[in-house]
Structure 1
Amino acid sequence: MISINPESNIPNKPSRKKPIFPINEGLRKYLKNHGREVNLPVHYEDLLRFTYSVPLKDKSGKDAYWETVSYDMREWEFLRDGLVKVYAILKTEGDFSFVNQLDVARIDFCVFGNSQPFRIRIVNRYNDNYDHYYIKRGDANRVYGLELEHLLSPNRITFFSNYQTLIEEHIPGIPGDEFIKNYLYHPDTNQVRFAKEFVKFNERCFMRLLGDLRSYNFVVDITPDIENVQYRIRAIDFDQQCYEGRKNLYLPQFFKENYPFVEIVSKLLNKESIEQYQAEERTKVVFRLASSRYRIKELIDLMCQDNISTPDKIEHLKIELANHFHQIGFLKAKTMGQIVKIQLKQILLKKLKLVPKTKIHDGD
């Protein structure tokens, strides 16, 4: 076993404020090549020019950790026109023929998130139906996280970048902490099926080193199915993609906020069932990797060269993973991207051998 310095200053909980790592030219070229980099009429900095804000309350009257912001009239006219066009870019690939029936109903700002996002509510003037999307600071960790989610998870993600601005679609679902309060113990909830999904979600996060998935950083999608329902857990926070230095921060099962989910898994699933569901998820990831292997290789190669964490966190994580897998290959890693590459290979190697032309070579 490799020893870890007991005096390490790497915290046992996620960093309260992760620094923003800029989107470099290599990553920007990747985004352009794959249709993610577009010209936008409004950028993040434009939204910072609000004049005042009012705290936003949720339906029960509690603080929602968002503030509704207001602008002077000249700024508002510029923003309203641009934000409706951004929505058209996000939803109809820039077809502006429908923008006359759309309007901006509200702009909310969250000061607590790493990316300090703005949430834009778009409303249809004809029927008052509304939708949301987000404008955030451009951050390399988040971009890598969004792309890996799009390529390796069962979920497709729509997002665009322009310079250091990110535009993201709203991911619908019940926030995990709300699911615990209002759904998890409801008689109609199929806890066995949910436990299975939590095991798979835990496996997906650890496989690609997506961190800080506490209950309020993911949502639960409930889909009616034959005689019952199916559940899918979807991450909504990608800021901590391969940034932290502790292994357990990439495993949702170790966050106290997720303890009710872990309790359900422990109560309803045996060891063999858990291993079966983990194997199922790995197999699915391998087939996704096989279908997008060139794009994933391009992305991982960029990650291997990028600076998206700190030297002490990189050093600590590679030692913890080397201990966990009894694999000294992690000690060769010099960047977080290289750790992700070794991690995927370590977990998926047996499954990769079953699918032609999906090997992740050390030299690739």
Structure 2
Amino acid sequence: MSEEKLMSKKKPAYPVNDRLDAYLENYNRKIEIPIFYEDLLRFSGSVTVYDVNDEDTLWIRVYYSEFERQEIDLSLKKVYSILHSDGSDSIIQYLNIDAVDYCTFGNSKPFRIKVRNILNDNFTYFYVKKTDASRVYGLELEHMLSPYNLNFLVYKDTLIEEHIAGIPGDFFIKEMLPKCTESEKSQLAKEFVKFNERCMIRLLGDMRSYNYVIVPTHDFDHVVYKIRAIDFDQQCFEGKLKVYRPQFFKENYLMVELVRKKLQKKSVDQYKVEERSIVAKRIKSSGNRIKKLIEICREDEISTPENIEMLKEQIYELILDMDFRKSKTMGEVLDLGLDFVKRNYEDVSMKQIIESRY
């Protein structure tokens, strides 16, 4: 299926409502910051950023007038301190803003800030984006339902996200996948199956290869690979169920082929069950926090009536649960999906307990 038919042309940004704003404040996600997204748009010029192969990265490096640069640099250093430290000014003297890059591609049009410690030349990034309720729900769900914690801040119309380290999926597939051993390819196939399942369960869409990273970890005599989402713009918006399954994007074709060649159907089914069980455990362990988030999401407007109608019908056709047809919002569809996963896990666990006793 072509990308144009699979995805909507443009997703609108949805405002953070009062209940979600209060939730963010309660969990220390809402903190006053000294600079806003709009402030960074006042750049006076830019140059194109190229990769190591001299190809356009779709990022531009922006620069500001001398007067504004000093103010912006200081504010960005303070944001770094709030995001990664105690928010005090004590570390600011050791920081340098090496670059401010602006992405001209996609919905979010983020700024990428490169911060370097001048004492040891270690550097990291963080991102400045416009606040969007979909993205906030996506970040919180990733924090609670994936293997990874996420650090981000929201203040009014500005969202600050920490950098998620890893090798961009598109670069990995093109440059590094052909060099992987057969064992590593089998492991990557397994991780793609689990990643695919996790995205579908929590309705995270548009996981084309440049929207996730491959994270290699050295473990004794081999490398362990994990797949991690880095873009949460398409949380609970699209109406087509396929959008929430990375396997249907042409950019992931080689990963799908890897699964087909390396894994038998029984193994694929096993890894799907494993991922659903892990997500169910995370839902239970998240307790009131995820309950509060889903309650807010159930009443929020983060999609169109047409998309909601389409998605709930497609999910109903898949699992034949009439409750999906009664859904009025994307939050209700998400809630029912997570509850379905949790109930199935509890039913299987109870069955195993009963069988072990008799």
**Could you state the TM-score of these two structures normalised by the residue count of structure 1?**
0.92
Which residue number corresponds to residue 354 of structure 2?
none
Find the partner of 2:308 among 287, 299, 314: 314
SS in 2 for 1:231: strand
What is the DSSP-based 3-state SS (H/G/I as helix, E as strand, rest coil) of the residue aligned with 2:121?
coil
Match 2:58 to one of 65, 68, 75: 65
The answer to whether the 8 A contact 2:191-2:226 is kept is yes
| Matches for 1:39-78 after TM superposition, within 5 Å | 39-78=32-71
Cα drift, residue 249 of structure 1? 0.4
Q: Is the contact between residue 277 and residue 345 of structure 2 (CA under 8 Å) also seen in structure 1?
A: yes
Give distance in 1, aligned partners of 2:309 and 2:73: 46
Compute the displacement of 1:93 (Å): 3.1
Q: Work out which of the residue numbers 95, 100, 122 in structure 1 matches 2:115.
A: 122
SS of the counterpart of 1:35?
coil
SS in 1 for 2:129: strand
Unaligned runs of 5+ in 2: 351-358
Of 117, 127, 134, 1:141 maps to: 134
Give yes or no for the alignment of 1:154 onto 2:154.
no
Q: Is 2:233 the partner of 1:239?
A: yes
Matching residue's letter, 2:253 = Y
Letter matched to residue 198 of structure 1: F
Measure the CA separation in 1 of the matches of 2:9 and 2:136. Answer: 19
Q: 2:157 aligned with 1:164, yes or no? A: yes
Distance 1:52 1:15 in 2: 32
2:178 partner SS = coil
CA distance, structure 1, for counterparts of residue 203 and residue 245 of structure 2: 8
The answer to whether the 8 A contact 1:290-1:355 is kept is: no
Structure 1: runs of 5 or more not aligned: 1-10, 357-364
* Other-structure match for 1:7: none
Q: Larger deviation: 85-94 or 243-252? A: 85-94
1:57 aligned partner, one-letter code: Y
Cα separation, 2, equivalents of 1:188 and 1:272: 23
Q: CA deviation at 1:31?
A: 0.2
Find the counterpart in structure 1 of residue 356 from structure 2. Answer: none
Cross-structure match for 1:325: 319
Q: Which residue of 1 aligns with 2:190?
A: 196
Out of 340, 346, 363, the position equivalent to 2:340 is 346
Which residue of structure 2 aligns with residue 38 of structure 1?
Answer: 31
Q: Is contact 2:101–2:112 with CA below 8 Å preserved after alignment?
A: yes
Which residue is 1:106 aligned to?
A: 99
1:157-189 CA-to-partner distances (Å, cap 9, x unmatched) read: 100000011000000101111111122121446
The DSSP-based 3-state class of the residue aligned with 1:96 is: coil
Asked whether the 8 Å contact 2:113–2:125 carries over to 1, the reply is yes
Q: Deviations over 1:252-284 (max 9, x none)?
A: 011111010010101111111111111111111
Q: Which runs of 4+ in 1 moved over 6 A?
A: none
In 1: Cα distance, 2:310 partner to 2:277 partner: 29
In the other structure, the counterpart of 2:289 is: 295
Which AA in structure 1 matches 2:263? L
> Aligned partners of 1:227, 1:149: CA distance in 2, in Å?
30
Please report the TM-score for the alignment, with normalisation by the length of structure 2: 0.94
Identity between Structure 1 and Structure 2 (%): 48
**Which residue of 71, 76, 93 corresponds with 2:86?**
93
CA shift, 1:354, in A, is 6.1
Return the letter of the residue paired with 1:201.
Answer: F
Q: Distance in 2 between the 1:117 and 1:173 partners?
A: 18
**How well do the aligned residues superpose, as a CA RMSD in angstroms?**
1.5
Q: 1:279 maps to what in 2?
A: 273
Give the drift of 1:98. 1.2
Q: 1:76 to 1:238 in 2, by over 3 A?
A: same
The alignment status of 1:224 with 2:221, answered yes or no, reads: no
* Aligned counterpart, 1:359: none
Cα contact 2:59–2:104 (8 A) shared by 1: yes
- Contact 2:280-2:341 at 8 Å conserved across structures: no
Contact 1:212 1:252 in 2 (8 A): yes
Question: Is the alpha carbon distance of 1:187 and 1:309 closer, same or farther for their aligned partners in structure 2, counting shifts above 3 Å?
Answer: closer
Higher helix fraction (1 or 2): 2
Contact 1:85/1:96, CA 8 A, preserved across alignment: yes
AA paired with 1:305?
Answer: E
